[in-house]
Amino acid sequence: MNEEIKHLLKTALTEQRETFGDELFEQIDVPDLTVNVSNTVYRAVNNIEQKTSAIVSETTDLFNSDLTGYKTLDELYENIHDCQKCSLGATRNKFVFGVGNPNADLMLIGEAPGADEDKQGIPFVGRAGKLLTDILKAINFEREEVYIANILKCRPPNNRDPLPSEREVCKPYLFRQIELIKPKIILCLGKVASNVMLNNNDSLTKMRSEDHELNGIKLMVTYHPAALLRNPHWKKGTWEDVQKVRKLYDELNGS
């Protein structure tokens, strides 16, 4: 199969999974009817990933790591920015720690740095980053008011999804950031980040429709801005999600 077709196929499957989860849906020419087609290979890959994740997750506990000795974000950064705990350390250009207000009440979490982030060492730059900044502006937040970070601090090659082993070994860094920042709301961007934060494998659609809480912090889910660039029709759902975020933020802050 030629590389371009492989890439298109992979993108289409990824988008299907972001929206619907592990089921593969195919639209056929009958109005209002969607047929669920079982895809054995795709499902098998997901099963392997889930099992690997379950095994690895036994070794890490949420908010219970050996990083509690680092009392500020700067101290944490100084001690982890040379990390080589997974193979991504060897291929990164820049470690992407996180950016924003260290006392933010709203924290945004994506899955991993892309090419632009890897070059600059800052999360959510480039086209997806600009869109995120615009989304924040639309609900009256400046980028500097919030804190933005990813599950992984280093870029996976060719922007592939983070492997379960990479997610598990890197997420204690993010959890320590959360402990230090103490946000009131976490907004997860995309399925991967949401699955990692909620420790499940639910579809984005399901997670967007539910209320979540993580160690007393309200957690909400919406689309990843990069997915919105590929699928502008998801902007409406994103707009609804972020309006809820703004409403909750105002309620929690008594305004």
Residues of the shown chain interacting with ligand SF4 in the complex, contacts defined by CB under 6 A: 83-86, 88-89, 152-154, 166, 169-170
Q: How far is the CB of 104 from ligand SF4 (least distance, A)?
A: 21
Instruction: Kindly state the smallest distance separating residue 129's Cβ from ligand SF4, in Å.
Output: 19
Measured from the CB atom, the residue of 76 and 106 that comes closer to ligand SF4 is 76
What's the closest the beta carbon of residue 17 comes to ligand SF4, in angstroms?
Answer: 22
Rounded Cα distance, 227 and 231, in Å: 6
Q: Report in angstroms how near the CB of residue 251 gets to ligand SF4 at its nearest.
A: 34
**Cα–Cα distance measured from residue 252 to residue 71, given in angstroms and rounded to the nearest whole number:** 26
Q: Which C-beta is closer to ligand SF4: that of 83 or that of 139?
A: 83
Residue 136 or 170 having the CB closest to ligand SF4:
170
Phi and psi torsions of 157, nearest 5°: -55, 140
CB 49 within 8 A of CB 164: yes
Nearest CB to ligand SF4, comparing residues 117 and 166? 166
> Please, which residues have CB within 8 angstroms of residue 160's CB and are 6 or more apart in sequence?
none
Provide the minimum distance between the beta carbon of 118 and ligand SF4 in the complex, in angstroms, as a whole number: 11
Shortest Å, Cβ 202 to ligand SF4: 24
Question: Alpha-carbon distance 197 to 1, whole Å?
Answer: 35
Whichever of 92 and 143 has its CB closer to ligand SF4, that residue is 92
Give phi and psi for 150, each to the nearest 5.
-125, 165
Is 75 or 251 the residue whose CB approaches ligand SF4 more closely? 75
**Residue 70: helix, strand or coil by DSSP?**
coil
| Residue showing tokens 């289409």 | 12
User: Which structure tokens are listed for 54?
Assistant: 């379950």
C-alpha to C-alpha distances, 123 to 96, 110, 198, nearest whole angstrom? 6, 9, 21
Minimum CB distance to ligand SF4, residue 89 (Å): 3
Distance CA 73, CA 79 (A): 10
- Pairing relation of β-strands 147-150 and 217-222? unpaired
The tokens for 219 are 């957690």
Q: Which is nearer to ligand SF4, 67 or 154 (CB)?
A: 154
